Structure 1
Amino acid sequence: MLLLSLLLQSAVPASAQPLPTLDEIQFSECLKLARTDAPSAMAQAGEWTQKSGHYLARACQGFALATDFEFELAATIFAEAARGAEAKADSRSARFWAQAGNAAIAAGQMESALASLDRALATPMLDKGERADGEIDRARALVALNRNAEAEKALASARTLAPENAAAWLLSATLARRGDKLSEALAFIQTSAALAPKDPAVALEAGNIAIAAGDDSTARKQWEQVLSLAPNSRQATSAKAQLATLGIAPAPLESR
């Protein structure tokens, strides 16, 4: 999910901001509660919504739902918050649309996700990093819809907007490998590895690219690195399965 900070960021320096309203204070407190006690935050936001119908209440409710893995409902609530913010000319509407898109992806609603993300990206209200995250999410939805050419363009945009974003390079590598563009995939994964050398997802994909290129030795080293970096992760489960295809049993961790 997109970071909680996306809901709180402002283009105006803190020293220049007006004193927060009661709604803003309640919003901030509700978000903090959602991080540690999502059900209580949902109840609080629901009461707030019934009393005032404020879009910030809906935004907090959406975040609490997403935190509690209720992604389908979270996407709907975030969209309501975004429309409410738009009606009040609140620049956070773009971030709420981005949150709606992110939640819709998690719920498997790719067309809905694209609609929300396109609304977020159609405004000038997101900074470069946020726009890059939005493009990455668009690419994820587009790949799920088998619209790979469009996904490649979205990822190219993300890499340009935020060249330090390792996820953009990683997803670009994966998509290039699936399209049998192995030289591109290798260049992308090398950049991702330089940006995130201890990310097991990067090591896993590096192994996948190596095996696709016929380099069994490098593939084995990369997949074993996954096991060293994150032995209990889902990437480790995939790496073990890949090593098994090579007829290699992973060595015990203590021997590494």
Structure 2
Amino acid sequence: MSILLALLLQVGPDPMAGAMQGDDLVRDRPPRPSAQTQTEQESLNPTSAWLVRCLDQLAEDAARAHAMAQIRRSEVTGPDRVLANHCLGMAATELGLWDDARTAFLAARDETPADEARIRARFASMAGNAALAGGDPADALGLLGQAQQDARAAASAPLQALAAIDVARVLVTLGRSEEALSALEEATALMPERSEGWLLKATLLRRLDRLGLAQEAIEQAARLAPTNPEIGLEAGVIAVLAGHDEAARQSWQSVIELQPESLAAATARDYLAQLDPAETVPAPTTTNEEEPSA
């Protein structure tokens, strides 16, 4: 394991932010040490100790973490500077400073050694997403292209799938739907067991009015994640567009039953209100007619 990866893995849960299930960065991480062991480890490893403090500060005061990372970045080099840029990008993201976030994540990627392709791919993806959030999809596409190249160099299917999904989102923003669909085909081929790619593919196919293929994709997503409310919502939309109102009603009702207080449930209620009322069987009526007297 490289020095940089080891440092990232020491800082606690999800130091790279947004790791996918099955990602090497998650799978290879050892159990979080106890408080005493953590203290001993920090005394031996000031670099990872600093990143722990910066990320902890991020949860309490993002502006302070941002300043802390800027100072650190100006004082160090090598892996220390990579980690300073990482925390700086995270703080800028929390503050909505998308240009700062993009610049910091890209610097972290560029200053990560070339043989650390997995980490370079992650930072490039984070830079691309920051660019997209900042309203620059063209720049985002270029950065995510770098992420794809790095992920391929790392031979990491999870990172390749993640980058392909991000690329698809950008291409949709740019109005390049067919290219976006190709990217989602790649993502679902790389990680067929993940529901996210199938859900996004179903949504895009529905927007392209390819309802048969959209139905196949949403069924696969539902098999993989049957309790995901977003899948239930999309399944209902596809069903109603195909003229299957009752199937749509059942999908949206299931969302409400699963998470009645969620935003998804509120959306499902709005959708249901737009359908014609479900046919109901009238309750049996009884008459109280008196029997004729003898």
TM-score bracket for this pair, using the shorter chain length: 0.7 to 0.9
Which of 87, 94, 115 is the aligned partner of 1:60? 87
Deviation string, structure 1 residues 208-236 (Cα, Å, up to 9, x no partner): 00001000111111112222233344433
Trace 1:58-97 onto structure 2 (pairs within 5 A): 58-86=85-113, 90-91=116-117, 92-97=119-124
Quote the Cα distance in structure 1 between the aligned partners of 2:53 and 2:156.
25
Quote the Cα distance in structure 2 between the aligned partners of 1:4 and 1:65.
16
Q: Which amino acid aligns with 2:51?
A: F
Which of 25, 41, 47 is the aligned partner of 1:23? 47
Deviation string, structure 1 residues 22-60 (Cα, Å, up to 9, x no partner): 434423443344345433322321221132262321111
Trace 1:216-235 onto structure 2 (pairs within 5 A): 216-235=245-264
Which of 120, 135, 147 is the aligned partner of 2:176? 147
SS at match of 1:198: coil
Quote the Cα distance in structure 2 between the aligned partners of 1:34 and 1:126.
32
Task: Report which of the two structures shows the higher radius of gyration computed on alpha carbons.
Answer: 2
Give the % identical residues: 35
Pairwise CA distance, 1:8: 9.3
Identify the residue that residue 62 of structure 2 maps to in structure 1: 38
Closer, same or farther in 2 for the Cα pair 1:68/1:13, shift >3 Å? closer
Which of 204, 216, 225 is the aligned partner of 1:196? 225
Identify the residue that residue 25 of structure 2 maps to in structure 1: 9
Pairwise CA distance, 1:21: 5.4
Quote the Cα distance in structure 2 between the aligned partners of 1:80 and 1:174.
34
Deviation string, structure 1 residues 64-113 (Cα, Å, up to 9, x no partner): 22234443431222112212225x75442221101111222333321121
Structure 1: any 5+ residue segments left out of the alignment?
Answer: 250-256
Closer, same or farther in 2 for the Cα pair 1:93/1:25, shift >3 Å? farther
Is 1:158 equivalent to 2:187 in the alignment? yes
CA contact (8 A) 1:94 1:126 kept: no
Quote the Cα distance in structure 2 between the aligned partners of 1:72 and 1:165.
31
Structure 2: any 5+ residue segments left out of the alignment?
Answer: 1-13, 31-40, 279-294
Closer, same or farther in 2 for the Cα pair 1:126/1:64, shift >3 Å? farther
Quote the Cα distance in structure 2 between the aligned partners of 1:34 and 1:153.
37
Structure 1 range deviating more: 111-120 or 233-242: 233-242
Quote the Cα distance in structure 2 between the aligned partners of 1:161 and 1:225.
30
Quote the Cα distance in structure 2 between the aligned partners of 1:12 and 1:189.
32
Tell me which stretches of 4 or more aligned residues in structure 1 moved more than 6 Å: 10-14
Identify the residue that residue 236 of structure 1 maps to in structure 2: 265
Q: Which amino acid aligns with 2:256?
A: L
Is 1:118 equivalent to 2:145 in the alignment? yes
SS at match of 2:170: helix
CA contact (8 A) 1:71 1:103 kept: yes
SS at match of 2:154: coil
Cα RMSD (Å): 2.9
Higher RCO (CA-CA < 8 Å; seq separation 6+): 1
CA contact (8 A) 2:164 2:184 kept: yes
CA contact (8 A) 2:19 2:26 kept: no
Q: Which amino acid aligns with 2:17?
A: L
Structure 1 range deviating more: 136-145 or 218-227: 218-227
Trace 1:102-141 onto structure 2 (pairs within 5 A): 102-123=129-150, 124-125=153-154, 127-141=156-170
